[in-house]
Homo-oligomer: A and B are copies of this chain.
Amino acid sequence: MTQTLDSPPPAVQNGPAQTWLADFEAALKARDVPRAAGMFATKSFWRDLVAFSWNITTVEDPAGVADLLSTTLERVDPSGFALEEPETTDAGVTTAWFTFETALGRGRGLLRLKVEDDRPKAWTFLTTLYELKGHEEPRGVRRPKGAEHGVNRDRVTWAEKRQAEAETLGLTEQPYAVIVGGGQGGIALGARLRQLGVPALVIDRYERPGDQWRGRYKSLCLHDPVWYDHLPYLKFPDNWPVFAPKDKIGDWLESYVKVMEVPYWSSTTATSASYSDEDGEWTVNVSRGGEEITLHPKQLIMATGMSGKPNIPDLPGMDIFEGEQHHSSKHPGPDAYEGKRCVVIGSNNSAFDICGALFEHGADVTMVQRSSTHIVKSDTLMDIGLGDLYSERAIASGMTTEKADLVFASLPYRIMHEFQIPLYEQMAERDADFYARLEKAGFQHDWGDDGSGLFMKYLRRGSGYYIDVGSAELVADGDVELAHGQVSHLTSSAVVLEDGTSLDADLVVYATGYGSMNGWAADLISQDVADRVGKCWGLGSSTTKDPGPWEGEQRNMWKPTQQDALWFHGGNLHQSRHYSLYLALQLKARFEGIETPVYNLAPVHHLS
């Protein structure tokens, strides 16, 4: 989808979507906003990824469409709407892939029509920018030649150029952007910016790319399957495991940095940063292998992990506890704990993974469940939850990764739970026996506030679930003991719960999750900037841990924030792949001095 720059094939039918697009284009050409807005259903959604809004935003209903168009239409000057493949109709909904142009770029979208008042009207409308005119990526027919043919007495080889860049970028030449964090998010964005010719430097505290994964507990494997996890440009080969072990992913990320030529400083920690409104420039102090260096990028991107900043509880007695204690992100794996009494605080993904590995290594393990958790079995989730878009089955049916990403992006967050609920009802039915056993063992289980399950929990709060790869059985069977309630305090040798239960412990693992990414900004920049930007992640769904008001997009992610030139990039591999494109295009436009008026910059409602 995003890989071909060719013109789309002509549509083979003259269906309602083709007509709708032609009419819509005519209304836009006539600058007739009411007419264009009237082509949307009473309850409808237009999601725009950068193409119209220089933002990631969703407007709703004719009124929202009118507002978006009133602000952006003249500047965007959209044209050339054309079907990319024949439209299809199923259960009253007509679906059509299309391409279009704006004054500045080329886009691709997905339209769904429903009949309202006997007329096909847009129900969902996705518009995405995939390239800026005059700044097309050097890929495919535009790939570089590599060899420089002919005779050139000033010839500089590829290796010499790479070496020269390594010796200057960040030292004698300032990068336009600095990306803090070299995990999958940072390097996916780094690769995109390299492709777009934006000088960007990724810095990371670890010794080698991939150490972000290598350093985690040793049994860790990805919980998402391979089809969902590709990075931009370079897909995993087809012998890649469904759930890649952490060290294998680590090696892949390391290779990726090299192959994609991402400028990357290892063993580098950002120690402080500040923005000068006057100069329009950051001052970022970093320590690179012990050497203090000051960088002056125009843009600063936090790619430190949406699940990156540990929530470590502040409990009475932590200072007198004589055993070992650490956050789950620092857990070294189970090897040293055979025969030890281990208490794991928490009952989400990390907690289960760690409990399972400790049990396997002969530890005596207790899980402390503080609140209810949603569990789905991995196989079930893969099959029912992701199978249509990301699976061998999807590939066999002609689905590509790029297309699947756009299908996913086209479902409005406002109504996404409605599509999710029936899937989780199916899952509950399929694994009814499993859930019965789990509840019998006293485990507090939920399906999310509205029964919409795991993915909505991820989007709303980024927590509250476990994708079961086996450890849930340990709890159901009582192999891992279960305790309930909040922790009151620690003694020198035990964890004491609020109901007085005392759990003897040689090891306490705080699998207590992670804070909002603006906490990173507080540490690196200032509390003032962190507060100005506000909470990252969440949709404003007014469900548990996702307070309203409704925003309709992931707060502060991949789009402009209330702090000039500060960006947040993160999420799972799917999101790193997909949204890095839109963030990269926003940065590229600014690098090129293109005007980027932001429509609908989100206000701040929560500080963390």
Residues of chain A touching chain B, judged by Cβ–Cβ distance below 8 Å, are: 3, 6, 137-141, 143-147, 149-153, 155, 157-160, 162, 195, 218-219, 221-222, 226, 233-234, 237-248, 251-252, 255, 258-260, 356-357, 359-362, 378-379, 392, 395-396, 469-471, 473-474, 479
Residue of B nearest to A334 (CB): B155
A233 to B152, CA, bound (A): 37
Q: Contact check: which of B143, B219, B378 meets A238 at CB < 8 Å? A: B143
Q: 4 tightest CB-CB pairs across the interface, nearest first?
A: A146-B241, A147-B221, A158-B245, A147-B243
Question: What residues on B are CB-neighbors of A152 within 8 Å?
Answer: 360
Question: What residues on B are CB-neighbors of A234 within 8 Å?
Answer: 237
Q: Contact check: which of B153, B237, B241 meets A233 at CB < 8 Å? A: B237
* Min CB–CB distance A577 → chain B (angstroms): 13
Contact in complex: B159, A239 (CB < 8 Å): no
Contact in complex: A243, B469 (CB < 8 Å): no
A145 to B241, CA, bound (A): 5
A444 to B3, CA, bound (A): 45
**A141, A222, A378: residue with the most chain B Cβ atoms closer than 10 Å:** A141
A19 to B238, CA, bound (A): 35
25 residue pairs from A and B, CB less than 8 Å apart: A3-B238, A6-B396, A138-B239, A139-B238, A143-B226, A144-B241, A146-B226, A146-B240, A146-B245, A147-B245, A147-B469, A149-B379, A149-B469, A149-B470, A151-B359, A155-B219, A155-B360, A157-B218, A157-B245, A158-B245, A158-B247, A159-B245, A162-B247, A233-B237, A233-B238
Question: What residues on B are CB-neighbors of A469 within 8 Å?
Answer: 147, 149-150
Contact in complex: B255, A258 (CB < 8 Å): yes
Number of this chain's copies in the assembly equals: 2
Contact in complex: B239, A470 (CB < 8 Å): no
Given contact pairs A146-B241, A150-B473, enumerate 16 new A-B contacts (beta carbons under 8 Å). A6-B396, A137-B239, A140-B238, A145-B243, A146-B242, A146-B248, A149-B379, A150-B470, A151-B360, A155-B219, A157-B218, A159-B245, A159-B248, A195-B239, A233-B238, A255-B258
Q: Contact check: which of B146, B153, B218, B252 meets A244 at CB < 8 Å? A: B146
Residue of B nearest to A152 (CB): B360
Question: What residues on B are CB-neighbors of A153 within 8 Å?
Answer: 360-362
Contact in complex: A218, B138 (CB < 8 Å): no
* Min CB–CB distance A393 → chain B (angstroms): 9
Q: Contact check: which of B158, B233, B243 meets A239 at CB < 8 Å? A: B233
* Min CB–CB distance A139 → chain B (angstroms): 5
A195 to B240, CA, bound (A): 11
A160 to B218, CA, bound (A): 9
Known contacts A359-B151, A396-B6, A470-B151; is-contact A242 B143 (Cβ 8 Å): yes
Contact in complex: B144, A242 (CB < 8 Å): yes
Known contacts A237-B234, A252-B259; is-contact A378 B149 (Cβ 8 Å): yes
Contact in complex: A242, B147 (CB < 8 Å): yes
Known contacts A6-B396, A259-B255, A360-B153; is-contact A146 B243 (Cβ 8 Å): yes
Residue of B nearest to A243 (CB): B147
Contact in complex: A157, B219 (CB < 8 Å): yes
A259 to B361, CA, bound (A): 29
Question: What residues on B are CB-neighbors of A357 within 8 Å?
Answer: 155
Contact in complex: A151, B474 (CB < 8 Å): yes
A157 to B361, CA, bound (A): 13
* Min CB–CB distance A223 → chain B (angstroms): 8
Residue of B nearest to A362 (CB): B153
A219 to B425, CA, bound (A): 62
